[in-house]
């Protein structure tokens, strides 16, 4: 039959957004539309020969997981319901909305998944199979080990390849096991952005709090105050570097902003970048049950020098946890 009939056109339901370049009247507004062809083709049809410069800033599938599709009108409805203004509202029915790309993503997630619009939550990706297996195996081990010896805090190592997505998977483990107090420790403060982004932007972690020294400073408060203000009825993640946690005040005691870390019994302590030696010598002083396994090269003198002689503090209170997750790289 194909020799008598042309093949049906390939449909590609797409939500797209573009902005005008150097057009003051439309500054800050996005044109949000729907097409079953290439957005570029549809936009050129809209603008014809206007010669207005534009830039496509976003496009995504308009298909749901069940195979149904949604339109731009549903996205417009969510945006209007949540206070995003429309250009020339009431005068015409244009599709220009004063919003940014992240807000648009959040609106699309609400439509696609049939959930309420959540401000700043514009990520909705799922765990990959290897991440799911890691979470399942870790949960099984944690529960078995806890049952066999309730007085021992089990440890589990993820020796993950690059781009495994260990931060997202670790959060999913915490969620699956209903942990409400999670402490993330690292020798590499630069990884904070990854831990913060996954928690603050993914729909799975709505209501969770992220606390760090940097985050608290940005709010003009200290870590202790940030923890005090956090909603204790919901999960809280505290991020810290060993450099900061091992630091002392002028009297040689624990820094005031770190006291809550030592007085909280954590559900889970996560050691990120474990291969850097975060579980060696002075780091052990933070914990009641030192790890007998670690034999990682660690330049103690260099660390002491780099960290302004704050590497030692015998008066540090122990940090307690029910479980430990060690994250390393292959």
Q: CATH number of the domain that 148 lies in? A: 3.40.50
Whether residue 30 is contained in a domain is answered as: yes
Q: How many domains does the chain have?
A: 2
Give residue 56's domain range: 14-113
Considering the domain architecture, whether residues 46 and 147 belong to the same structural domain is answered as: no
Considering the domain architecture, whether residues 158 and 46 belong to the same structural domain is answered as: no
294 pLDDT more than 50: no
Q: Which residue has the tokens 């990520």?
A: 123
Considering the domain architecture, whether residues 245 and 308 belong to the same structural domain is answered as: yes
Residue 306 CB neighbours (<10 A): 12
Q: Residue 148's beta-bridge partner residues?
A: none
Considering the domain architecture, whether residues 156 and 193 belong to the same structural domain is answered as: yes
110 pLDDT more than 90: yes
Domain boundary among 79, 113, 147: 113
Write down the pLDDT at residue 313: 37
Considering the domain architecture, whether residues 106 and 135 belong to the same structural domain is answered as: no
Whether residue 118 is contained in a domain is answered as: no
Q: Which of 37-41, 93-97, 149-153 has the lowest mean pLDDT?
A: 93-97
Taking only the tens place, the pLDDT of each residue in 170-191 is 999 999 999 999 999 887 778 8
Buried b (16+ CB within 10 A) or exposed e, 165-187: bbbbbbbbbbeebebebbbbbbb
142: Cα separation from own chain's centroid = 24
Closest CA to 123 of 92, 153, 158, 167: 167
Taking only the tens place, the pLDDT of each residue in 197-223 is 999 999 999 999 999 988 888 889 988
CA gap 269, 184 in Å, rounded: 6
Where do the H-state alpha helices sit in 149-288?
166-176, 192-201, 213-218, 223-229, 242-245, 259-263
Domain boundary among 88, 113, 138: 113
Considering the domain architecture, whether residues 183 and 286 belong to the same structural domain is answered as: yes
What is the DSSP pairing of strand 181-186 with strand 209-212?
unpaired
Q: Which residue has the tokens 């096991």?
A: 177
CA gap 315, 95 in Å, rounded: 63
Considering the domain architecture, whether residues 71 and 135 belong to the same structural domain is answered as: no
CA gap 110, 107 in Å, rounded: 5
172 in Cβ contact with 178 (< 8 Å): no
Write down the pLDDT at residue 94: 81
Q: Which residue has the tokens 């949960």?
A: 139
Whether residue 8 is contained in a domain is answered as: no
What phi and psi values does residue 296 have, to the nearest 5 degrees? -100, 140
What phi and psi values does residue 143 have, to the nearest 5 degrees? -70, -40
């Amino acid at each position: 039959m194909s020799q008598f009939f042309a093949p049906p056109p390939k449909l590609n339901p797409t939500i797209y957004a573009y902005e005008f370049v150097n057009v003051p009247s439309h500054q800050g507004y996005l044109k949000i539309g729907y097409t079953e062809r290439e957005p570029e083709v549809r936009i050129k049809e809209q603008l014809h020969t206007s010669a207005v410069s534009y830039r496509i800033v976003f496009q995504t599938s308009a298909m749901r997981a069940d195979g149904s599709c949604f339109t731009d009108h549903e996205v417009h409805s969510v945006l209007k319901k949540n206070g995003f203004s429309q250009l020339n509202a009431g005068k015409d029915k244009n599709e220009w909305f004063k919003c940014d790309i992240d807000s648009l993503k959040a609106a699309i997630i609400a439509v696609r998944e049939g959930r309420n619009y959540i401000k700043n939550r514009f990520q909705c990706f799922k765990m990959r199979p290897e991440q799911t297996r890691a979470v399942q195996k870790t949960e099984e081990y944690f529960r078995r080990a806890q049952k066999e010896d309730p007085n021992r805090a089990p440890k589990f190592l993820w020796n993950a390849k690059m781009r495994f997505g260990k931060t997202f998977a670790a959060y999913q483990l915490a969620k699956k096991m209903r942990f409400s107090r999670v402490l993330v420790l690292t020798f590499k403060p630069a990884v904070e952005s990854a831990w913060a982004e996954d928690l603050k932007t993914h729909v799975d972690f709505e209501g969770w709090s992220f606390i760090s020294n940097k985050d608290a400073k940005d709010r003009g408060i200290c870590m202790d105050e940030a923890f005090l203000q956090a909603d204790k009825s919901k999960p809280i993640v505290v991020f810290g570097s060993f450099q900061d946690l091992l630091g002392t005040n002028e009297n040689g005691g624990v820094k005031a902003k770190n006291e809550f870390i030592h007085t909280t019994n954590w559900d889970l302590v996560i050691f990120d970048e474990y291969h850097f030696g975060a579980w060696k010598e002075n780091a052990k002083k933070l914990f009641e049950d030192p790890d007998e396994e670690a034999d990682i090269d660690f330049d103690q003198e260099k660390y002491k020098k780099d960290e302004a002689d704050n590497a030692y503090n015998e008066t540090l209170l122990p940090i307690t946890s029910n479980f430990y997750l060690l994250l390393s790289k292959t």
